[in-house]
């Protein structure tokens, strides 16, 4: 900031009844200028850049005027409480920031935004009317709200420490809460309640019948297999007997043929 202040110079000063208006310009660019007003006691300084109002820090234009007036010590109006050693002695809220500093910061931000809004809205008539009506409406609403808060505070002071209690809690208008009943357990085989498929008596009967049926089928297969083997043995014995009989008759026929041949040759 001191480097920037060294580039500034006072080009004009106009004295009024209660203050003096100084015109500041930057060295090398005379087209841009700022105005700093100083009261006759030299305790209050205001600059057109609004840096002091926005951030609480003196701008280079005010420093240039201080050098021009040969002021060796910063006035108290340019040193806020939050920048001094006494800042810790003030009351802090839960966030660790003084309420005064919060108000000043909010005020500076609103001033900066309103300045930008005024610059933009003043160039068009419809924007000007819109901003004017909106701002006036907000001002009226805030004033009414502040008056209501003051009335409530006055009533609380007159109550001798008696404060209203919390209102009685009323029940909701919906249906009362009902306990959700659990669905009964059903068996997946017989569809009866009270047991599952593992302990189902019908499942046991079905298993026993299935086992008995499978045992009977296997037994029938075994018995049929035994009957088939006996039948095969019977037919095999019959075939052997037929074969032996055929061999017997074949042997007799050969003997008769030999006898006939021997008789013919003897003749």
16-64 pLDDT, tens per residue? 888 899 999 988 777 888 999 998 888 889 898 888 888 888 899 999 9
> Residue 222: what pLDDT?
45
d(CA 147, CA 134): 20
> Residue 193: what pLDDT?
79
> Residue 147: what pLDDT?
87
- Beta carbons within 8 Å of 192's beta carbon, 6+ residues apart: 186, 200
DSSP 193: B
> Residue 53: what pLDDT?
83
162 contacts 176 by C-beta, under 8 angstroms: no
User: Which of these, 104, 66, 63, 62, lies nearest to 82 by C-alpha position?
Assistant: 104
Q: Where are the domains of the chain?
A: 1-80, 96-146, 194-267
> Residue 162: what pLDDT?
54
> Residue 79: what pLDDT?
84
d(CA 227, CA 209): 27
> Residue 226: what pLDDT?
46
Q: Which two tokens stand for residue 24?
A: 């500041």
Kindly report, residue by residue over 212-221, the tens digit of the pLDDT: 555 554 555 5
Token pair 């609480």 is at which residue?
Answer: 56
d(CA 162, CA 177): 38
Give the residue ranges of the chain where pLDDT is below 50: 217, 222-223, 226, 253, 257, 261, 265, 267
User: Which of these, 9, 25, 19, lies nearest to 68 by C-alpha position?
Assistant: 9
> Residue 57: what pLDDT?
86
Does the pTM of the predicted model rise above 0.85?
A: no
Q: How many residues belong to the chain?
A: 267
d(CA 80, CA 45): 13
> Residue 231: what pLDDT?
55
| Residue 77 exposure: Cα atoms within 13 Å on the Cβ side | 12
């Amino acid at each position: 900031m001191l480097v920037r202040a060294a580039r500034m110079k006072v080009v004009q000063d106009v004295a009024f009844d209660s203050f003096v208006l100084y015109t500041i310009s930057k060295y090398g660019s005379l087209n841009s200028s700022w105005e700093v007003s100083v009261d006759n006691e030299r305790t209050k300084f205001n600059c057109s850049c609004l840096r002091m109002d926005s951030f609480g820090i003196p701008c280079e234009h005010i420093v240039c005027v201080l050098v021009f007036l040969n002021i060796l010590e910063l006035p108290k109006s340019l040193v806020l409480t939050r920048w001094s050693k006494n800042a810790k002695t003030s009351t802090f809220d839960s966030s660790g920031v003084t309420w005064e500093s919060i108000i000043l910061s909010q005020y500076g931000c609103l001033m900066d935004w309103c300045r930008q809004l005024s610059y933009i809205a003043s160039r068009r008539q419809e924007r000007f009317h819109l901003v004017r009506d909106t701002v006036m409406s907000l001002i009226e609403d805030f004033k009414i709200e502040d008056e209501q808060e003051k009335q409530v505070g006055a009533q609380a002071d007159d109550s001798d420490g008696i404060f209203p209690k919390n209102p009685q809690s009323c029940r909701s208008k919906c249906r009362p809460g009902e306990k959700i009943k659990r669905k009964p357990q059903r068996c997946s085989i017989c569809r009866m309640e009270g047991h599952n498929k593992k302990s189902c008596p019908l499942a046991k009967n079905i298993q026993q019948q299935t086992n008995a049926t499978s045992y009977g089928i296997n037994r029938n297969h075994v018995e049929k297999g035994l009957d088939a083997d006996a039948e095969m043995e019977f037919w095999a014995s019959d075939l052997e007997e037929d074969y032996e009989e055929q061999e017997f008759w074949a042997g007799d026929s050969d003997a008769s043929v030999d006898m006939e041949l021997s008789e013919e040759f003897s003749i």
